[in-house]
Amino acid sequence: MRRAITIFCLLMSFVVEAQSELVVIVHPQTNLDDISDRQLAMIFLSKTKYLPNGARARPVEISSMTTKNHFYNRVAGKQEVELRKYWATVIFSGKGQPPKQFKSVASVLRYVESKPGAIAYIPKDSITPSVKVVKTIK
């Protein structure tokens, strides 16, 4: 019985791992093939308004806390509490705003495919040919 539980837990961890893999997407005509974690953090934390290729960045994200927590922890090393404090400070000081949020992946995809400079992160299994993938986040 103990062995069965151990195997089940291992299998579930692989499922969770696979589901948590994200991809960073941009408008399909964006002249950008790769982006670093540091560049992503700068864009999504409103520390720069430009993509690495010089185009104006339009960052958007899904309002799902699970997805956001995974992304910000991986690329910026920030946990949820740290992120909330960060945004409170940035907004209060007038130095920036958090990325525009959408309730669904479909809404994010529609926005990114229609707006030059748009950049977002979505679950890997949600990719469509209408956007360009520039990074995978495990």
- In this predicted model, what pLDDT tens digit does every residue of 26-36 receive, in sequence order? 999 999 999 99
Percent of the chain scored above 90 by pLDDT?
A: 86
- Kind of pairing, strands 118-123 and 22-26? antiparallel
pLDDT at 17 over 60: no
Residue 50: partners with Cβ closer than 8 Å, 6 or more residues away? 56, 57
The rounded distance, in Å, linking the Cα atoms of 22 and 104 is 15
Give the C-alpha separation, 105 to 100, whole Å: 13
Report in angstroms the alpha-carbon separations of 35 from 30, 43, 105.
Answer: 12, 11, 21
Question: Which region, left, alpha or beta, applies to residue 96 given φ > 0 means left and ψ of -120 to 50 means alpha?
Answer: left
pLDDT at 2: 56
pLDDT at res. 79: 95
pLDDT at 9 over 70: no
Is the pLDDT at 122 greater than 90? The verdict is yes
**pLDDT at residue number 117:** 96
